[in-house]
């Protein structure tokens, strides 16, 4: 079972300007083959399909708990995409009747790369890559062979890191860069953890491969605050009470990667504090939430009061 | 953010026999257009993309909290699929060397409907429908228009119920039938809740449509224990502290559907107690977890001890 | 613009027995690359996109009018698929409450090839091929180059005929065989007409290629009544008043293929008389039209009377 | 069976300039999930698969006759796409040899969003959405349950209207705006008619939902002439003699929506008068119909004369 | 550039009986995510896109030369699929007129898993997996980062081996088992070679992972003759004169895996001798090559003589 | 079996500037329905699935040998795509540490049509069309009926030529134009050869259709050197010793097309001399081959020396 907390894993700075093509680029990290829908889909189905869960508890718990973190990554990138698609929030822009819709208020959308992200998705995020291709089952590997699935996951996290770097190198807006910076640190943790799990089984020191690609996180300004707070040495259980067995893999004196700030790896029960979710103010002229929405706001306020 | 608890929303009875074609039929409720990946995908992205969250809090919270329940539905169907694909657990069948693999030990798989579910998925669940077609973005609607998205969701839950009934009518094994029975009750709750939300905005008593399709749950034996415990009158917040505003929609004197046991609708903080996850014993001859796995079990036990 | 007439192009004999796998085989002629959705999709979009329509009127009219016939082919195959999926009609089986749905009334569906055709499509037809793969844009060629598009269409009709023959050789039920027999005659007419159009432009006697594949229609018993009535020598305009210019291509002394009954090719204004559409009686236990449908029948009767 | 008439449902004003990105935006209304291929595909297959047609005649006839109108909508949008892709017609531009093809005459196409619409589709329309993704079976729902299928259709028409409005707000060229204006009026009729059909069966006044999204048509200048002539109160049978039973649903004193010009709903036998189809002059340098086409024009003229 | 030699990499024993479901199972090794189209597609595009080819020659040559071997693997599996689909060759069955096609000569095909493989593919192989899903670009990774692409390839070969074993365990016919046995040996060589390449760059002894899955080839009778002749220690250049630099990676004293017969790794210039391609006798009733094909044989014989 | 030679079929001039949108346009000739992956896929699988190979040797050899040439075409277009994506080579740009990656070095990529070609494909080629849609099995026809498959291939080559011309008319950079020019000459040879094969079987002089589209190659400057050297009159066997029987079809006094330089058609054993493969210098800031790659170059040099 899963629970939800109304926060983001990292607080995102507001976008400087509306930039649908930047949002579309960021979609590569959401619905691309090496995006967060893929890490989520792989670990989620691997954890459902895991065999001999009791006998292999630490390995099962590793895949199961990271699944929950990936859900939050999907949420984080989605928020970033929506923010870049819409630009800075204008408070109360969601009130009023939207003006004269016959004056082509969205003419600027005509030339963006992913028109359907506006016309159908209303500037939100979708499980597609930067070329608008759908995420799909071909991006999921779940063979039930623990060694192979972990090797696949190790490769997947390295590939994800490569894609995050390239998107980072493309974006200049702080919202998108923050998404990349945060995910680079956490993706590195996941790659590291799969390497350590495989080392336990095979004896091969796979963590010596890292980092792949070969760029230390200290070259990325947006990574620094996460490194400073030691995020790169921490795995969360993402659970009120379960999955603590991951400490058998992530811990036991294992250390941070040599290119990162030094220290021992530790497991933290539960989840990080997180940051505020962006408001994403509605646009009446695009019928979000709807044209002339004040009546809806009033109804919602009434219902809200009833619920307290 | 999301947390995970190592339990299923409902405890599933063990399968009577291995039946990959029954498992494939159940896949329709996982990766089909009206399956749980679709309800999950629609509500997850709608909640990420929701505009004016604060002003429309009760509606936002409804979609956001049901998202978390749908994650558990995806998990439940996945467990059912894996159990039917594999048949009754044979304790300790995951030990040993798998025997003589040159004797075509899996010849029986040759004629099943979804061979790849064995060859690649190892009898696990995948985000595909009963015809092996991938779940994809065409099954996600997130327009940002709250009235329309809720109407879409209402139609989606009615359609999901229709598919659940047909799969139920096909299956004779208790595992699959329990999955359907549980989901029929919970799906009815979701359809009901979207109808009530729309009634608040539009004044149209949409809940009078229900049930669609027109079959009271009391005709389904597997639904009875859930009706008896009042599951059909309950919405959970699926959160330690958030989403309580759904009580503005689900509550306020609203009653159970006339075809279900009577009583007032209530919101429950958090989540249900849930049931045990099936073990899904490994099969060395199919290399799950791996050939001659005792060594892996030993390593896992050692790591488990270290984690305590 | 298009009009509709509530008849089938050919009257189909009732099926001998329910045979979903035969229905799935027939789907190849509906949604396969060389199926009727493809001939429809190619000619429909080619006719929309046709350039210099006035100057090239006879060629435009050929493609435009055959489009209308292909709509009826899609309808015919769809009816055949639904009939084979459902078996012989049982009059008034659509009344009543459907019996005890907890007794797995559709257990037999569990092992059919295309389970979703039952679970989601309710035994109806869908735009998919015999392997449940969706028809899609990759099956449409519309280049705007008249010579090339006609050559493509010639190849498409020959390929369609090849597939019809193989499906015919697979089916033993009279419903499916009648579909194939009728389509073989009409498909031959279309191949012939594209050959004659190309001969007018290029001077190459392409009709001498025919028949491809090399089987005279007189080997197919189900083709005989259509040959006897001269269907193989007739092109319809499928229009109250337009597209008569096809007589410039199909006519002018051109003769039937040497392997078919002899005679001159002629254009017929309008459409053939057609046959009755199959009733496809509902199944309450599968909720079609709905459980306990008598009330719906009564409402419909009342509305029917009001409409007169 | 279907017939074809060589006219468009509405006459489209000529485009002001060639704008392939505007054409690509309009494709959302053709091959998108809520586009005309989807309304066509849903109603066409629902009508083929409809059960107990005789007993449920008014409902069957509603779905069957709207299918024919949707064919004309597909045609209308396709014409609009082709016109925007090509710009104003230049009479006799289809003659001549196309000039020096080695001078990159189509360099401007290099940067358009959907290059394949030029390279392969020659500036015509294709069954894809605004992101070039193919229309497919996942956009078709045909469950055989009449109540649910009508509910689906009601949701589909509301969604289609939402997409039409957003595309309208994007386009400034009169051709594309006219397409949207016409379809908004007719889509509103279809949503209204499905609401009335559902009201007859369930007693829920679903038409009170409308309009969704919440914008009266009088805000759209391009809708006015259609409202003035009462198009919003009219359903056509689109048939020489069939489908008249729709008057049981659309009529009987039912009135226009309160936001539209008032009056009673009426059924019109047959079809509207329609407008002229755009010529779409060929471009020899792009080999449409072919390079140096005069010989083809001459042959066509000769054949035309023979056909009279 | 590529050359072709009219031989198979391994001679396949004739099939014992026609078994289309076994053929469909074998398709997993052709068009599945871990099948030969994927190894081919990955290495082919990686070699085309390889950067700094001169400076990284041994790594480039490794990927480039294995590409050519994978082409032969695609050919080998395709031959196996076609042989299982068709059963033992009946000499001269390709002559004659095919008999009475109205007697449903292919009724047995109606219930096979992949009907389109008969109806459209005529019992040949296609780039699809065992569930008839198309091979596609999502199965190709080509990032230009040499370390990551090699890591991906290492994981791909391990995954391919896992799938080969499961298909092997399913098949009882000698044709399909020979395909698996041969590919298991060669796939092991490729996994080994990528491990050694990565060891050169990173210093991590990745070959100690092998074999994954953990089954020595000596448990597979069909592998023995290939092990006996030392195939597991050999890489071919698959070129008249190029790619010899792979000896820098595969050689230099590196040894066979400890679970295989011992010996040093060696590079062989060119290609193995190979075996005879199966004849695949035509079936006139299925119009392959065509109905009453003697005339075609005669024409071919005449042309053959002219060519000498 | 296949061999590989480290050369391109034609030497490509260096690109004038980086132009990812031009590269994306060229992708239409790689992964589009009428691109080189399609000609390759069709002939490769047709040759694998060919029936009665011995009796129909000249026809089999034609399809089999052209397969090998198509592999080289896929390689040629892929090289062109990569060159246009990357622009002129800067020698030794692949050394160094890539500079400050936090300065958005790839901001210019944000607005290109196919962002994933940069983010994931690193500026390489992929099996997709100009709209980023994957090549797939729907683009492969292999029916086993020799007459029909040859007719399909004839149509395919004509369509490929049409697409090549339109892409040529779009590109101004010499690299892409050279690709088109070369392929136009060779594609014309293939269309011609299939026409001659069909003429042998059916007696219809199909080569008189050519050229389709109707543009003589002498209008394309980039074709001249290939025409001058007689490439249009030559078929290669692409084999050390096989496929010589194609001389029964291509030869025997058959002549060049009337619009091309005159002369007899001849078969050449083996392959053309070919040209140099472009170096495609790496970009450390995009991690190709990897960040700070000097160490890798050194390792490669060491391995190279060992291999000699």
Could you tell me the two tokens for A14? 């507001």
At residue B287, the pLDDT reads: 85
Position C292 confidence tier, pLDDT thresholds 50, 70, 90: confident
Q: Which residues of F touch D113 (CB under 8 A)?
A: 113
At residue A249, the pLDDT reads: 97
Q: With a cut of 80, say whether residue B284 has pLDDT above it.
A: yes
Could you tell me the two tokens for B289? 């977890």
From the options 1.25.40.10, 1.10.3660.10, 3.30.1510.10, 1.20.1260.10, give the CATH code of F20-307.
1.20.1260.10
Annotation: binding site of C for Mn(2+): 36, 70, 73, 157, 190
Angle (CA) C109-C111-C116 rounded to 5° is 60
DSSP structural state of residue D92: T
Asked whether residue F295 is marked as a ligand-binding residue, the answer is no
Q: What is the pLDDT of residues B118-164, one digit of tens each?
A: 999 999 999 999 999 999 999 999 999 999 999 999 999 999 999 99
φ and ψ at residue E249, rounded to 5 degrees: -100, -45
- Check A5 against B3: CB less than 8 A apart: yes
At residue D92, the pLDDT reads: 85
At residue A107, the pLDDT reads: 96
φ and ψ at residue C283, rounded to 5 degrees: -130, 100
At residue D95, the pLDDT reads: 87
**Mutation site, C120, C133, C282, interface B, largest B CB count within 10 A:** C120
Cβ–Cβ contacts within 10 Å for residue E1, how many? 24
Q: With a cut of 90, say whether residue A164 has pLDDT above it.
A: yes
Task: List residues of chain A with CB under 8 Å from any CB of chain E.
Answer: 33, 133, 136, 138-139, 141, 143, 145, 147-148, 151-152, 154-155, 158-159, 162, 198, 202-206, 208-209, 212-214
At residue A24, the pLDDT reads: 98
Regarding chains F and B, contact by 3 or more CB pairs under 8 A is answered as no
- What is the rounded distance in angstroms from the CA atom of residue C14 to the CA atom of residue C20? 15
What are chain F's partners, defined as 3 or more CB pairs within 8 angstroms? A, C, D, E
- What is the rounded distance in angstroms from the CA atom of residue B184 to the CA atom of residue B226? 10
Task: List all residues 6 or more positions away from D174 whose beta carbon is below 8 Å from its beta carbon.
Answer: D13, D14, D15, D16
Q: With a cut of 80, say whether residue D8 has pLDDT above it.
A: yes
Q: With a cut of 80, say whether residue E50 has pLDDT above it.
A: yes
Q: With a cut of 90, say whether residue A169 has pLDDT above it.
A: yes
Sequential pLDDT tens for chain F (308 residues): 999 999 999 999 999 999 999 999 999 999 999 999 999 999 999 999 999 999 999 999 999 999 999 999 999 999 999 999 999 988 888 888 888 999 999 999 999 999 999 999 999 999 999 999 999 999 999 999 999 999 999 999 999 999 999 999 999 999 999 999 999 999 999 999 999 999 999 999 999 999 999 988 999 999 999 999 999 999 999 999 999 999 999 998 999 999 999 999 999 999 999 999 999 999 998 889 888 889 999 999 999 999 88
Dihedral (C-alpha) D208, D209, D210, D212: value to the nearest 10 degrees? 170
Q: Which residues of C touch B168 (CB under 8 A)?
A: 101
Position D151 confidence tier, pLDDT thresholds 50, 70, 90: very high
At residue C252, the pLDDT reads: 85
Counting Cα atoms < 13 Å in the Cβ hemisphere of A94 gives 25
Number of B to D CB contacts under 8 A, please give it: 76
Asked whether residue E152 is marked as a ligand-binding residue, the answer is no
- Check F292 against A24: CB less than 8 A apart: no
Nearest CA in chain C to F199: C209
Q: Which residues of E touch F239 (CB under 8 A)?
A: 3-6
- Check A4 against B68: CB less than 8 A apart: yes
The percentage of chain B sitting over the pLDDT mark of 70, rounded to a whole number, equals 100
Q: How far is the alpha carbon of D55 from chain A, nearest alpha carbon, in Å?
A: 38
Q: Is D295 exposed, middle or buried (0-12, 13-18, 19+ CB in 10 A)?
A: exposed
At residue D248, the pLDDT reads: 95
At residue C90, the pLDDT reads: 87
Nearest CA in chain F to D296: F214
Residue F131 three-state SS = coil
- Check E169 against B286: CB less than 8 A apart: yes
The average pLDDT across C125-148 equals 97
Contact B52, A294 (CB under 8 A): no
Least confident range from A94-98, C111-115, F126-130, F175-179: namely A94-98
- What is the rounded distance in angstroms from the CA atom of residue B172 to the CA atom of residue C110? 10
Asked whether residue A75 is marked as a ligand-binding residue, the answer is no
- Closest among D46, D39, D42 to D74, alpha carbons compared: D39
Nearest CA in chain D to B155: D152
What are chain E's partners, defined as 3 or more CB pairs within 8 angstroms? A, B, C, F
Q: Which residues of D touch A282 (CB under 8 A)?
A: none
Q: Which residues of B touch D151 (CB under 8 A)?
A: 155, 158, 209, 212
Q: With a cut of 80, say whether residue C49 has pLDDT above it.
A: yes
What is the average pLDDT value for chain B, to the nearest integer? Answer: 95
At residue C10, the pLDDT reads: 97
- Check D79 against C48: CB less than 8 A apart: yes
- Whole-structure pTM value: 0.98
Q: With a cut of 80, say whether residue B240 has pLDDT above it.
A: yes
Residue A235 three-state SS = strand
Q: With a cut of 90, say whether residue E289 has pLDDT above it.
A: no
Could you tell me the two tokens for F209? 């259709």
The average pLDDT across D71-84 equals 98
- What is the rounded distance in angstroms from the CA atom of residue A169 to the CA atom of residue F119? 10
DSSP letter for each residue of C241-289: S--GGGGGTS-TT-B--TTS---B-EEESS----BPPP----BGGGTBS
Regarding chains D and A, contact by 3 or more CB pairs under 8 A is answered as yes
CA-atom Rg of chain D in angstroms: 21
At residue B93, the pLDDT reads: 87
Task: List residues of chain A with CB under 8 Å from any CB of chain D.
Answer: 100-102, 104-107, 109-111, 113-116, 118-120, 122, 132-134, 285-287, 290-292
The average pLDDT across C26-42 equals 98
**Mutation site, C289, C294, C308, interface D, largest D CB count within 10 A:** C289
- What is the rounded distance in angstroms from the CA atom of residue A162 to the CA atom of residue E279? 47
Counting Cα atoms < 13 Å in the Cβ hemisphere of F197 gives 28
Position C171 confidence tier, pLDDT thresholds 50, 70, 90: very high
Q: With a cut of 90, say whether residue B86 has pLDDT above it.
A: yes
**Mutation site, E155, E163, E214, interface A, largest A CB count within 10 A:** E155
Q: How far is the alpha carbon of C151 from chain D, nearest alpha carbon, in Å?
A: 13
At residue C212, the pLDDT reads: 92
At residue A293, the pLDDT reads: 86
Annotation: binding site of C for Ca(2+): 239
- Check D162 against B143: CB less than 8 A apart: yes
Task: List all residues 6 or more positions away from F207 whose beta carbon is below 8 Å from its beta carbon.
Answer: F192, F195, F196, F199, F257
Q: Which residues of B touch E21 (CB under 8 A)?
A: 110-111
What's the ipTM? 0.98
Position D292 confidence tier, pLDDT thresholds 50, 70, 90: confident
Number of E to F CB contacts under 8 A, please give it: 337
Q: What is the pLDDT of residues A122-152, one digit of tens each?
A: 999 999 999 999 999 999 999 999 999 999 9
Q: Which residues of B touch D162 (CB under 8 A)?
A: 143, 145, 148
The percentage of chain A sitting over the pLDDT mark of 70, rounded to a whole number, equals 100
Asked whether residue D207 is marked as a ligand-binding residue, the answer is no
Position E291 confidence tier, pLDDT thresholds 50, 70, 90: confident
């Amino acid at each position: 079972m899963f629970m939800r907390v109304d926060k983001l894993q990292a607080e995102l700075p507001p976008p400087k300007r509306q930039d649908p093509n930047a949002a579309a680029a960021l979609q590569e990290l959401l619905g691309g083959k090496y995006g967060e829908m893929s890490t989520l889909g792989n670990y989620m189905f691997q954890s459902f399909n895991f065999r001999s869960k009791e006998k292999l508890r630490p390995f099962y718990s590793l895949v199961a708990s990271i699944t929950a973190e990936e859900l939050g990554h999907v949420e984080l990138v989605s928020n970033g995409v929506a923010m870049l698609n819409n630009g800075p929030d204008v408070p109360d822009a969601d009130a009023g009747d939207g003006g004269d819709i016959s004056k082509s208020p969205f003419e600027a959308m005509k030339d963006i790369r992913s028109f359907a992200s506006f016309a159908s998705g209303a500037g939100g995020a979708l499980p597609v890559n930067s070329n608008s291709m759908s995420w799909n089952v071909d991006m999921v590997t779940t063979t039930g062979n623990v060694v192979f699935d972990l090797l696949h996951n190790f490769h997947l996290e390295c590939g994800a890191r490569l894609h995050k770097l390239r998107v980072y190198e493309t974006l200049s807006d702080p919202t998108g860069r923050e998404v990349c910076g945060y995910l680079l640190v956490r993706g590195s943790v996941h790659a590291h953890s799969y390497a350590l799990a495989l080392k336990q089984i095979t004896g091969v020191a796979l963590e010596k491969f890292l980092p792949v690609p070969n760029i230390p996180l200290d070259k990325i300004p947006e990574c620094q605050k996460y490194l400073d707070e030691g995020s790169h040495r921490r795995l969360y259980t993402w659970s009120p009470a379960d999955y603590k067995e991951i400490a058998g893999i992530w811990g036991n004196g294992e250390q941070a990667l040599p290119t990162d700030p030094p220290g021992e790896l530790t497991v933290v029960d539960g989840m990080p504090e997180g940051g505020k979710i962006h408001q994403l103010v509605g646009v009446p002229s695009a019928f979000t939430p709807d044209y002339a929405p004040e009546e809806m706001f009033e109804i919602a306020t009434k219902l809200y009061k009833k619920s307290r």
